[in-house]
A and B are shown apart, each in its own frame.
Chain A
Amino acid sequence: MATEFHNLQELRHSASLANKVFIQRDYSEGTTCRFQTKFPSELESRIEQTLFEDTVKTLNNYYAEAEKIGGQSYVEGCLACFTAYLIFLCMETRYEKVLKKIAKYIQEQNEKIYAPRGLLLTDPIERGMRVVEISIYEDRGSSGSSSGSSSVSGSTTR
């Protein structure tokens, strides 16, 4: 693996983490999970505003769906009560299911939109749902060192 990259070093550019932008929570409607859709100035040259806003709005919609008090949450609560909460050992809560969907969405966004632009979204759950972290990577130019292309591991929840 290293040798593969080694031959291509001269042709490859390497990316390095330049900056991180934090999209803060929008508390204007209480403690329900929403993120601000304000377009950060650091991303102005990196990504279109509409794409960014779409991402954040979709995330907000996901979280709103997860936190919705409705039929499914009633059923879950009653079931949990009657089984003395043993149901949690077997079943995944609705919130966790939505979190999985969010993780998949974020990965898809990263692969399709953000990574080609040198950006990386981090799942807010890793930050306690306080911020959406966007890492900005810069092209350091082709390097002769052994770094090669950079692969960034994004950790997502199972």
Chain B
Amino acid sequence: MPGGSDTLKPSAFIPVCTAACLLVGSTSLYFVFTCPWLAVTICPAVPPCSAIIFLFVLANFTMATFMDAGVLPMGDEDEDKDDEFRAPLYKNVEVKGVQVRMKWCASCHFYRPPRCSHCSVCDRCVEDFDHHCPWVNNCIGRRNYRYFFLFLLSLTVHMIGVFTFGLIYILHHMDDLWALHCTVTLVVVSISGLFLIPVLGLTGFHFYLVSRGRTTNEQVTGKFQGGVNPFTRGCCNNLEYLVCSPIPPKYTARPCKKTVIHLQPPFLRLEIERKKQIKVRDNGIQSRDKVAVESSNVKQLKTPPPLPPKPDHEAISRGSSPIPPEKVTFILTLAQFHFRVILIKPLPYINVFSYVAQLLKTSDNQDNNKGPNHCLESKESPVRSSHQPGMLFQPPLHTSMVPGPLQHNSLTLNSRSLTLKNSGRYGSKSQLPAMHVDGLGCNPPPGIIANPSLIANHGSSSLSYDNLMHPADPQLIMQRGVPPVSYHPHFMTVGTDGPVLRKSPQAYSPVFVGITRQSPHLQDSLRDLLPPDATPPRSAAARYDNFSKTIMASFHERRELEERDRILRLQARSHALYGDMGIYDIPCRRSLPPDNNRPPGSRGPTPPAYGSREFLMSTGILGYGMRSAPLSSSSTSSLTRGPKTIGSPLQSSSSSSLQTRGRSSSPGYCPTERPNPSLASSTSTIPRLSSSTASSATPHTSYATMKRSSLQYSSERKDSVTHGAPK
């Protein structure tokens, strides 16, 4: 045959031809010269058995040589249209819990399935690739490995038989060794003896591979040397699979029957326009169209579509210097991000949204009525002018407003609003709008401010406001005669999540994500909510910028305060439950049962950090994840039972949420982790600090907890950013 062609190289056929010739030739000689004497002398069944075995060898040899190993057809160009330049070289896939890498095959244009490999001789990817055998001039893969293995097995048996019987023959003809029969038998015995060693070795090797469930390729490349082989089914099942599994079909060169299917447009389409729009709205700030779409998703909305930004701009700037729309958009975007974070984790007791919305609305009304500097002034001074109450809220609101010092600072306002909030939950919707009369000017979040103020000017925006608060205050809506604003979509986006908000009567406090629900100390904590520390510049743009920073700062402070309050409450509760360790109460371990084996040096009941804010917060934040250091396994197990005994969904849910957050957000935490298999998985975060390191645990704990607190903030920031990123 002509040499040099890609697929048919003459040199490739030499081994297979040699093997075939040796096999057939030797066996033929054996049958002709040796077997007659064997049949006569030893047993007449010897030649037939040998013949059967030889037939088996031939059949398997033929199948191994000519059977398609499981060659995969090349990938369509459509499959890799995205993959050529940007796709990663490897894709990870999990097989029975083990990560397996799938490599992109540049020749075949697909990611090689697990166990698949590209044969350089055949230049094709082969499924369950074992090796390319030169003696059969074929790849050994999924479809023909069985025949190859049986060929080896039968060849070994055959060669052993030929060698043994030939030897017997020779031993019986020692005196006539140079007779033809003897010489031929001698040659046959030599050949079989010579090739028996490597064939036996190869058979033993493949027996080993089958028992381990590996392919030659995997064995040689050391893939599963140290690790777990996900493809093995156990020794016996592997053998069973090898011999008895159904023969897979050939993938290439299949006989095809073409069937014609008629595609006749128009095609059926699904009525999922809303769904599409919901998906689109992920980064809903982008376009008005999207916004309009989003707004249509809000069930309660009957708003007209939002207007272009220009009117908003004018509305905002009516009393203040013009804000470039881009800037407002940017601010609003930030706010929206925060909103999204908030909405994911609604909390019961603080309706920051409503609060801020109220503030903004109030400020907007102030803007509308009091002129440009009103908001600035009110923002500058925590002390509100008394005319604020007289603001634009309608009588219904006023009447529902809590009388009393419409105080001048956001603190009071906050507490009032919170009181109202707590009292009414969603009941006091009419009260809610009234709440924020005062504190509006005090550093509300920029986006939130901007939006609701814009919204306040807009009938449609009021709907988003309503989404936040409650099903609308028609009076509020009606009061606003300002041209609609288009930024409310962002707000509306938030509000579109309003159903989410609404469902849970819990509040949507962004600050207190993951913190427990009830906060009787709202008033106290909220006092610090909006520290009137910022001095806003005159320009509205700068004002909005300052708002953002201040708001974030205030949120964080507020959050810390809430953490502290919560931890204190939980400690009080856990103290009340003797022996039932509150999750957040490390110091209460002193109340552990005395039979707890506390390892020596474990942290005593009064760790130095006890009582510190970070410690308390961390213990609260981490749930029982951080209580590992001084705890022995028994104590930790009782700690494990702790939340269950308490049985409060508050703790378990908050602890789980905190745990999750802790796990995800604390790189500083990780180095202190130690495996502790004695604990249940639910408390897997607990035994991070082994008791043996108790002495060093305290600084670790403190460090980790402090780190964790800071990390939580940063993670929340990150969350807000990532949520806002286009999906």
Contact = CB atoms under 8 A, between A and B. Distances in A.
Contacts of B254: 125-126, 157
Contacts of A15: 263-265, 267
A127 B267 contact: no
Interface in B92-109: 93-96, 100
A153 B258 contact: yes
Given A31-B231, A44-B272, A45-B272, A69 B240 contact: yes
Interface in B42-87: 55-56, 58-59, 62-63, 72-73, 75-76, 78-79
B113 interface: yes
A88 to B, nearest CB: 8
B404 interface: no
Interface stretch (B163-171, B243-251, B329-337): B243-251
A81 B255 CA distance: 26
Contacts of B59: 84-85
Interface residues of B, number: 57
Given A45-B276, A46-B270, A85-B63, A130 B260 contact: no
Interface string A115-158: 11110100001111111010001011000000001111111111
B256 A156 contact: yes
Given A69-B245, A69-B246, A115 B262 contact: yes
Nearest to B150: A81
A152 B424 CA distance: 64
Given A73-B245, A73-B246, A85-B59, A152 B240 contact: no
A93 B113 CA distance: 24
B263 A120 contact: yes
Interface string A1-45: 000000000001111000010100101111100000000000011
Given A45-B276, A95-B249, A27 B113 contact: yes
A130 B63 CA distance: 25
Interface in B207-264: 230-231, 240-241, 243-249, 251, 254-264
Contacts of A46: 267, 269-270
Contacts of A84: 55-56, 58-59
B390 to A, nearest CB: 52
A94 B62 CA distance: 22
A21 to B, nearest CB: 10
A35 B251 CA distance: 17
A25 B113 contact: yes
Q: By DSSP majority rule, is chain A's interface helix, strand, loop, or mixed?
A: mixed
Interface in A30-79: 30-31, 44-48, 66-69, 73-74, 76-77
A27 B100 contact: yes
A92 to B, nearest CB: 10
A47 B269 CA distance: 7
B128 interface: yes
B251 A118 contact: no
Given A115-B262, A116-B267, A128 B245 contact: no
B398 interface: no
Contacts of A22: 79
A65 B330 CA distance: 57
Contacts of A130: 72, 75, 110, 113
A77 B255 CA distance: 24
B268 A116 contact: yes
Nearest to A111: B261
Interface string B328-360: 000000000000000000000000000000000
B275 interface: yes
B113 A95 contact: no
Interface string B525-537: 0000000000000
A152 B263 contact: yes
A95 B247 contact: yes
Contacts of B127: 128
Contacts of A27: 93-95, 100, 113-114
Nearest to B108: A128
Nearest to A127: B73
B281 interface: no
Contact of A125 (B110, B249, B268): B249
B270 A45 contact: yes
B246 A93 contact: yes
Given A44-B276, A45-B270, A66 B263 contact: no
B594 interface: no
A105 to B, nearest CB: 13
Contacts of B245: 67, 69, 73
A99 B257 CA distance: 13
B153 to A, nearest CB: 12
A73 B127 CA distance: 20
Interface in A99-120: 99, 107, 110-111, 115-118, 120
A83 B75 CA distance: 37
B419 to A, nearest CB: 46
Contact of A31 (B115, B249, B255, B259): B115
B261 A152 contact: yes
Contacts of B260: 151-154
Contact of B263 (A67, A150, A158): A150
6 contacts: A31-B115, A73-B245, A81-B56, A95-B248, A118-B267, A151-B262
What are the 3 closest A-B residue pairs judged by CB atoms, nearest first? A118-B267, A139-B265, A13-B265
